[in-house]
Every structure is written in C-alpha cells, then in structure tokens.
Amino acid sequence: MKKSHGPLPPPSSMPLAGLYFQQPGCDPLFHNISSRVERVELFTGGRGWVRLEGKWTEVTAGALLWHVEGDQTTARSDWDFPYRCLSVHFRTTQSSRRRRVPHLTWWHDAEEVRRFTQEVVEAHVDDQFDRNALLSYTYGRLLFQARRWEATTRRQDFPAKIRRAVEILEQRHISIAEVAQEIGWSVAHLHDAFQKHLGTTPHEIALRKRMQRAREQLAASDLPIKRIAADCGFSGPAAFCHAFKSRVGRTPLAYRREQSLGHS
C-alpha cells in the first residue's frame, strides 16, 4: 500500500513544539533541515530574516515559515528587536524535499496566532495529553492556514472586476448575465476573462460554491432536501439531486446518511 505524505510522531527525545525567544545582541544558531523532516516557525513577534531562494527575506509577527529538507531555519535577527516564534518539528513518511505549501506564508490575525500558540504549548507540556492528537491538530491547522493564505493571495492577484465577480457568484444566486451587467462587462467578456485568469467558467465557480453550501447543510442540519435546494439556488429538488449526484457520485440523501453515521 502506498504511504501518504503526512506527519509522524517525533522520536521521544525530540520535542514536538516549543516557544523560541531569540536573545538580543546576536543572531540565532540556525538549523539545516534533514531528510524526512519538516519544521515550521510561526513568528509571534520581533524581526528576523530567512534565506528564500538565495535572498534574505525579512519576517515579522504572523510569518509562517514551512521548512523542508535542504532549507535553513531563521538565521538572522534584529539585535534590538529579536524575534520570537512557535517552532514545531514533524517527521514525515516520505522525503520532505517535496514542498506542499509556499516556504513563506502569513497568518495575519494576531489573536488567532496567540490562541493557537498557547493551545499547542499547553498541550505539549502536558504529559497526559495524547501526542498523536496534538500532532494531527497542529499539523492540520498550520497546513490549513498556509493554504488559506495561498488561496487568498492568488485571488488578490486577479483584476478587481474578476475578484468582484467571484464574490458575487459565491454570495448571491443570480444569473451570469446579471453578474456581467453588475461589473460592467458583456457575458462573452466575462467568460473570456474567467478562462484567462481562473481557467474555468463563471457557471463552474457558482456551482462549486453552491455544492459546498449544500454539503455543509446536508451534513450539519436536518433541513428538508427541498429547502436545501432552494437555499443553494437550484430550481427544484430534482435539479438539485441530479446536479449533486453528478458531482458527488451519490444522492443528497445518501450523502447525508454517510455523514450522520460517520462513514467515509
């Protein structure tokens, strides 16, 4: 059976996580990341620099550095404003040279960073806390945050009207023609722009969001299928069931039963 790329518990002699406070007046002793190891530094304050693609890059509070084999941890610090970070160490099932997320992403919500750091450290120093649970939670939350930043940044690179059109499609149930009219484009130009910048169509973006909303309601509520179909912008239960089955591979009712019973 092929093993998936994911974290393993670190050896008992190696801490999973810890707070690092760089001393003022000097630079840190950096580490080279070895094979099958991933190390994440989540900056909680101060100022430092890390080498990214051969260049020194400044990092401050909210920086999320995901190091893989061959990388170096933060190697320079502001001597008067030394950095501090949550440092988390993972072993992986495969070569860690494969980069799953960008080397540097950001977690801009300072309060979320504070709460997450506190949770991880408190659980880590508790000898009675399940180490595998802590590992899964920490790895998953950091990966989720890096992915969220990556997706948000990609969208910010799009032209303003593309971003606005995507927002409309994700938030409201209106026709493609109405979206085009609202942003001041023709339908043809809207389609061309979506294909150029997103590689898909406005209809696909809208349908993807409606399906996501439908899955959430099926899994987390007991609303009737007819109500969910209406809430998600479908013309009726039949149209909803047909679209859902073609996308998900089973009917809305079957999907709801699987989720409620906890089946995979």
For residue 14, the model assigns a pLDDT of: 42
Mean pLDDT of 66-72: 92
User: pLDDT-based confidence at 68, cuts 50/70/90?
Assistant: very high
Query: For residue 256, what is the DSSP state?
Result: H
CA atoms within 13 A on the CB side of 160: 2
> For the segment 97-121, what is each residue's pLDDT rounded down to a tens digit?
678 899 999 998 889 999 999 999 9
Q: What is the pTM of this model?
A: 0.63
Mean pLDDT of 13-26: 80
> For the segment 42-54, what is each residue's pLDDT rounded down to a tens digit?
999 999 999 998 8
For residue 187, the model assigns a pLDDT of: 95
**Residue 168 to residues 68, 80, 243, Cα–Cα distance (Å):** 38, 47, 21
Two tokens at 260?
Answer: 């409620």
**How many whole angstroms separate alpha carbon 204 and alpha carbon 168?**
13
The highest-confidence range among 32-36, 54-58, 151-155, by mean pLDDT, is: 54-58
User: pLDDT-based confidence at 7, cuts 50/70/90?
Assistant: low
Which domains are assigned to the chain? 7-154 (2.60.120.280), 163-261 (1.10.10.60)
**How many whole angstroms separate alpha carbon 100 and alpha carbon 6?**
10
For residue 263, the model assigns a pLDDT of: 46
What mean pLDDT is reported for the chain?
87
For residue 3, the model assigns a pLDDT of: 38
Two tokens at 59?
Answer: 């990092």
**How many whole angstroms separate alpha carbon 67 and alpha carbon 121?**
20
> For the segment 21-43, what is each residue's pLDDT rounded down to a tens digit?
999 999 999 999 988 889 999 99
Does residue 124 contact residue 80 with C-beta atoms inside 8 Å? no
